[in-house]
Amino acid sequence: MDAVIDVRGVSKRFGGLTAVNNCSLSVERGSITGLIGPNGAGKSTLFNMVAGNIVPDSGTIMFDGADVTGLKPHELFRRGMLRTFQIAHEFSNMTALENLMMVPGDQPGESLLNTWFRPGRVAANDAAVRQKALDVIDFLKLAHVKNELAGNLSGGQKKLLELGRTMMVDAHVVLLDEVAAGVNKTLLQDLAANIERMNTELGYTFFVIEHDMDLIGRLCDPVIVMAQGEKIAEGPMEEIRANPEIVEAYFGSPVEAA
């Protein structure tokens, strides 16, 4: 297996509580890997450690073959890993196109993150950036709203725009948190289709935390199941759904209802 993310024996405690317990798992390059499990299983804590938001107490996190344990999000970004749907909010008084142009492709991670947090420093005159933004808008099939103020876009369109930012900076590994939250069913299909196209046509790897089991089933293979801070299963969603022990022990009901 060609693991782009390799989590090795990682633990994290909060006071007396062990949120992640000697957990090992990996994400194969080119996959869309899902991470599911009951509330409190440790998914967010694990994600936070992979993304550089929390430093593990012990264990190692490898990215692209290098030990990145303890590196900060912007340092990981420089290496091609980006977490989305949490870091960036659209600038509502700028158009969809301008929002993408706020993300110049050739800037190092630190200053790039600054442009997201501090509007005003824009490479808006750069023809290459503009062309790239237009290409991304086309790819995401958002051309009809490119001159619309981002604040007027629907929740799903805003999420597409965030996905678009990822494409502006050529991150090749994207961590997605709760993509489905607050998005209506129709737009969710668009979002899922775009994630699939970024994966198959552009070679992006995705690591996805999601509570919507239908979306996980559609997008992710493999699916990793966590419970009580540990990985307890991994496989295609059909296998996970068909495993009565996992379903009973960790979901307490059929997975469809989880």
Binding site for ligand ATP (CB under 6 A): 14, 17, 19, 37, 39-45
| Least distance to ligand ATP, CB of residue 82, Å | 20
Which residue, 42 or 104, has its beta carbon nearer to ligand ATP? 42
Cα–chain center distance at 52: 13
The single-letter code of the amino acid at 147 is N
| Least distance to ligand ATP, CB of residue 51, Å | 13
| Least distance to ligand ATP, CB of residue 54, Å | 8
Place of tokens 């059909």: 238
Q: What are the two backbone dihedrals, phi and then psi, of residue 205, each rounded to the nearest 5 degrees?
A: -100, 135
The single-letter code of the amino acid at 50 is V
Which residue, 43 or 231, has its beta carbon nearer to ligand ATP? 43
DSSP state of 23: E
| Least distance to ligand ATP, CB of residue 252, Å | 14
Using alpha carbons, list the distances in angstroms from residue 190 to 20, 40, 89, 176, 218: 33, 30, 19, 15, 12
- Tell me the two tokens of residue 96: 């969809």
Which residue, 9 or 119, has its beta carbon nearer to ligand ATP? 9
Q: What's the burial of 160, exposed, middle or buried (CB within 10 Å: 0-12/13-18/19+)?
A: buried
| Least distance to ligand ATP, CB of residue 17, Å | 6
What's the alpha-carbon Rg for the chain, to the nearest Å?
18
Which residue, 87 or 134, has its beta carbon nearer to ligand ATP? 87
Tally of CB atoms within 10 A around 122:
16
Which residue, 47 or 204, has its beta carbon nearer to ligand ATP? 47
Cα–chain center distance at 158: 15
| Least distance to ligand ATP, CB of residue 12, Å | 8
Which residue, 140 or 247, has its beta carbon nearer to ligand ATP? 247
